[in-house]
Structure 1
Amino acid sequence: MARNLDMTALRSFVAVADVGGVTKASGFLNLTQSAVSMQLKRLEDSVGISLLDRSNRTIALTSEGEQLLSYARRMLRLNDEAYSRLTSDIFEGEITLGVPHDIVYPAIPQVLRQFSANFPRVKVQLISSFTRELKAQFGRGEVDVILTTEENCDAGGVTLQTVPLIWVGAPEGQAYRSRPLRLAYEGNCIFRAGVQKALDDVGIDWEMAVESNSTRTIEATVSADLAVHTMIEGTEPKYFERIVHSGDLPELTSMQINMYRAGLEANPILDALCQQINAAYGAL
């Protein structure tokens, strides 16, 4: 006799696989941790195999879990498409979403995937730029929703997270010890002026080792241990390392991840996108 897989349990399984843990997945799904854990257990019981390797601190997929994940993604995509087309009002159009490049991951791909499933006929154009440029575009009415990284939130915005700004350098690098301290920043980076002021306030001489609007140029310079940089905690790539400076560098301020949306009037499509972004950042 044919048996059916539980779509709700599959959704929890995919969310856990995507974000790497039950806690983050529960926030993204708007469920309790215990509910997600129960769904995972029910799924494993139904197929009679272990899908998750829980032997380490971080959850990983077993080989059977990796195989099921591929099927689960396709099943959920088809389920969501069918449900949306049959039960939802048909929305069509295009939304422009602007996000600074350093906070695109891990939340935005999840948001775009879920939004596309819910509104298959709405196109989301994602643009990535610096906060200053995104706010200028938003002010000109060129972008519907933007995220920003800044010290404060302007009127009309919503703060999604407050996160520390940290010093980063090459793995096992020593550039942070040099004086004058060599810095590498894009010309439009909103962190740049505040970092320079923090260094001035504690009397640390500095110089710009490289100025470029190419993120790859900055990354190459820092990873070669020729300069240091600052980033929002948790966004540093694998080829950077947080600098444990033991007081050799000043402590930095926290930054806010803010969201601004165009218009105050009700708009079901924009409302849904903003709600999903808010939920995704709440789960991090």
Structure 2
Amino acid sequence: MTIGRFNIELLEAFVAVAEAGNVTHAGTRLNRTQPCVSTQLRRLEDRVGKPLIERNARTMNLTPAGRILYQHATEILRSHEEARLRLSAPELTGTVHVGLPEWYATGQLQSIFCNFVRIHPNVKLEMTVADSATLHEMLTNNEINLAIALVTASKALPDEVVEEPLHWAVSDTCQLTDPLPLILFPQPCPFREMAFSALARAGRQWYERITTTSVAAAQVAVLSGAGICCLPTGALQDGIKVLKEQDGFPKLPATQLAIYTQSTTQSPIVDYLEEHLNDLLQNAIAPRSVLAGKISPELRVV
């Protein structure tokens, strides 16, 4: 059987449905109507010659062929977007110093800057990994050009904010009786007050068992069963259990990340990076396939 050539718009519709979990949400994401997305999905299935999604009254699931195509389609769309950006981007030369919070230093957000360097091969990237308070201070002192950091009340709220859930993280070996052993980050980490306020409202007692400046050290402590830690979705690892309200732990407020730049005049590199970073950010942290059963980072732009 010969399969017809793939069309980018058809692949976009398929990937959007796979990641959103239904046609309606996929249409919203693509700014297309639901009938349009459904038609494009059928056209793609006609070209493949096999069903890609199994539908019933309430659920949709990727077929074996759908799972295979999803893996390739995401790579095709990623390459297509990179080519589009490289052809449309201005020629940039110079150095840019960016900052990242630790729990994303090896994850999705770092890939944004790596993509930027691939698109702009004449740009040198310097990267600092630190807590958000340090990144804000470095920005104020003009020691870095741009940072993705937790939103702070001391600075004006940027136009674009990325909201990420915060979770009670624990291992199966940790005792969950009061007083609860907490693994915390030192002041001025906002997770502390979020945890204290939530536990106080629930009438739970606790004590501070481990304090660390390192997300990696907190992850190891959680996995060892030493205590409970508030971790954002991006810091969760295999082996870490998330406690919910049915476990007796109140829901935590979401964390907010935003793009901040230095206070002095910015270079063309920083101007361009700031302008396009939100688009790159959305592409880098787009939820993985809901239908394929992969874990979603649960990040959304508000």
TM-score, normalization by structure 2: 0.66
Query: Could you say which residue in structure 1 is the equivalent of 2:217?
Result: 217
Paired residue for 1:277, among 277, 281, 285?
281
Distance 1:251 1:2 in 2: 48
Distance 1:221 1:87, change over 3 A: closer
Deviations 1:27-52 (A, max 9, x none): 66555565544433322222211234
Deviations 1:72-107 (A, max 9, x none): 455445544554555554344554443324467986
Q: Give the deviation of 1:220 after TM superposition.
A: 2.9
Query: Could you say which residue in structure 2 is the equivalent of 1:41?
Result: 42
Give the alignment's Cα RMSD to 1 decimal: 4.5
Distance 1:141 1:4 in 2: 50
Aligned 8 A contact 2:178 2:204 in 1: no
Deviations 1:114-142 (A, max 9, x none): 75786566566655432112212222323
Work out whether 1:184 is the aligned partner of 2:183: yes
Unaligned 5+ residue runs, structure 2? 287-298
Query: Could you say which residue in structure 2 is the equivalent of 1:11?
Result: 12
Q: Give the deviation of 1:13 after TM superposition.
A: 3.6
More displaced stretch, 61-70 vs 19-28: 19-28
Paired residue for 1:268, among 257, 269, 272?
272
Distance 2:184 2:301 in 1: 30
Report the count of equivalent residues.
281
Q: Give the deviation of 1:6 after TM superposition.
A: 0.5
Q: How does 1:128-277 map to 2 (within 5 A)?
A: 128-150=129-151, 152=153, 154-155=155-156, 157-158=158-159, 160-161=161-162, 165-171=166-172, 175-179=175-179, 181-187=180-186, 189-196=189-196, 206-232=206-232, 236-244=236-244, 252-262=252-262, 267-277=271-281
What amino acid does structure 2 have at the position aligned with 1:182? Answer: P
Report % sequence identity: 25
Q: Give the deviation of 1:14 after TM superposition.
A: 4.4
Aligned 8 A contact 2:45 2:52 in 1: yes
Q: Give the deviation of 1:186 after TM superposition.
A: 3.4
Distance 1:58 1:77, change over 3 A: same
TM-score, normalization by structure 1: 0.69
Aligned 8 A contact 2:3 2:49 in 1: no
Aligned 8 A contact 2:183 2:211 in 1: yes
